[in-house]
Amino acid sequence: FHSTEQTTEILLCLSPVEVANLKEGINFFRNKSTGKDYILYKSKSRLRACKNVCKHQGGLFIKDIEDLAGRY
């Protein structure tokens, strides 16, 4: 039997202003102190975050060209 310990590590802290500036849905966010990129999903009062790294090739996800043009 093999046991592995889990530890908690804070990867990202947002100020109230940064949270208020997030739009509903998907947001791309860079932790300025570590340089790591995250994808944040905001839905009403809930906020979810994950690392912005493609497990296949290690690249970053970016905004789609339609999003950059303001079309949805």
For residue 42, give both structure tokens. 């905001």
Residue pLDDT, tens place only, 7-65: 887 888 899 999 999 999 999 998 888 888 899 999 988 999 888 887 766 666 667 65
Instruction: Count other Cβ atoms within 10 Å, centred on residue 31.
Output: 13
Give the whole-angstrom CA distance, residue 53 versus residue 41.
Answer: 15
pTM for this predicted structure: 0.67
Question: In the prediction, which pLDDT does 22 show?
Answer: 93
Query: Where are the chain's structural domains?
Result: 24-68
Q: How far apart are the first and last CA of the chain?
A: 51
